Amino acid sequence: MKKIAVLASGSGSNLQTLIDQIHQKDGLICVVISDRKNAYALERAKQAGIPAVHISRLKYNSDNEYDAEILRILKKYEAQAVILAGYLKILTPLLIDAYKNKIMNIHPSLIPSFCGDGFYGMRVHNAVYEKGVKVTGATVHFVDHGIDSGPIIVQRAVSVEDSDTAEQIQQKVLNVEHNILAEATRLFLQDKIEIINNRAYIKK
Ligand code: GRF
């Protein structure tokens, strides 16, 4: 079974979906790493018997040294791929290049809308609400050297009703995130994703 690592900074509901739907089925979550000591994602990993590692950014002099430590942990646990499940730090080229087209990220909008620098968490949904768009959704994509800019693997849309608050939009999108993250991870683990000219194609 392929081994995947999960990086998370927050409550870990996306991680929990992977634990429930993917772990020890389509693949193995070999380690969960967080930059936040109190990230509930670490607790979820422990409850599932998965190694949970907090790496404090304060202990390292640079993002490169920090990512070098992440890389060391990924190698220690033999991770063949990495999933960013609500991970708020930007990866350095050191880490991205070590796992080219093997790092997937879940973003809470339909990329290329409402993404890029500064668009994360509620900021995305507040911008969606302010703009008055009629559909939003979530995207799973491979991580490249840009922000939210790598090949798109799976997307799913949700309707935005006039009465929806930003929080209600977030909840609708979070439900979709869980579904498409599990779907994209399964496709990856089954080697069904092909990258041609920086576009991801799903093999039938
Ligand atoms: C999600 O909204 C995800 O789109 C964003 O961060 C949040 C993570 O939520 N990247 P959780 O920690 O998986 O519950």
Side chain identity at residue 68, one-letter code: A
Per-residue pLDDT of 36-52, as tens digits, reads 999 999 999 999 999 99
**163 CA distance to ligand 1 centroid (A)?**
23
The encoded tokens of residue 199 equal 């576009």
C-alpha dihedral sign at 12, 13, 15, 19: positive
- Residue with tokens 């977030």, as numbered in its chain: 170
**174 CA distance to ligand 1 centroid (A)?**
7
**108 CA distance to ligand 1 centroid (A)?**
8
Domains 1-99 and 106-204 are alike in CATH topology = yes
Regarding the beta carbon of 177 and ligand 1, being less than 6 Å apart is answered: yes
Q: Which of 17, 91, 103, 106 for mutating ligand 1's site (highest number of atoms within 8 Å of CB)? A: 106
Strands 103-107 and 81-84: parallel
DSSP-assigned letter for residue 201: E
Provide the pLDDT for residue 16.
98
The encoded tokens of residue 136 equal 């939003």
Phi first, then psi, for residue 134 (nearest 5°) are: -95, -15
Catalytic residues: 107
Regarding the beta carbon of 8 and ligand 1, being less than 6 Å apart is answered: yes
Regarding the beta carbon of 29 and ligand 1, being less than 6 Å apart is answered: no
Domain ranges for the chain = 1-99, 106-204
Q: Which of 11, 14, 88, 154 for mutating ligand 1's site (highest number of atoms within 8 Å of CB)? A: 14
pLDDT above 70 covers a percentage of the chain that reads 100
Residues of the chain with pLDDT under 50: none
Provide the pLDDT for residue 82.
98
Provide the pLDDT for residue 80.
98
Per-residue pLDDT of 139-182, as tens digits, reads 999 999 999 999 999 999 999 999 999 999 999 999 999 999 99
Strands 103-107 and 135-142: antiparallel
Angle between helix 122-131 and helix 166-189 axes, rounded to 10 deg: 120
Provide the pLDDT for residue 4.
98
For residues 158 and 114, the answer to whether their CB atoms sit within 8 Å is no
CATH superfamily of 1-99: Formyl transferase, N-terminal domain (3.40.50.170)
| CATH class of the domain whose range is 106-204 | alpha beta
Please tell me the distance from the alpha carbon of residue 50 to that of residue 32, in angstroms, as a whole number. Answer: 7
Provide the pLDDT for residue 130.
98
The reported pTM is 0.96
Strands 199-202 and 193-196: antiparallel
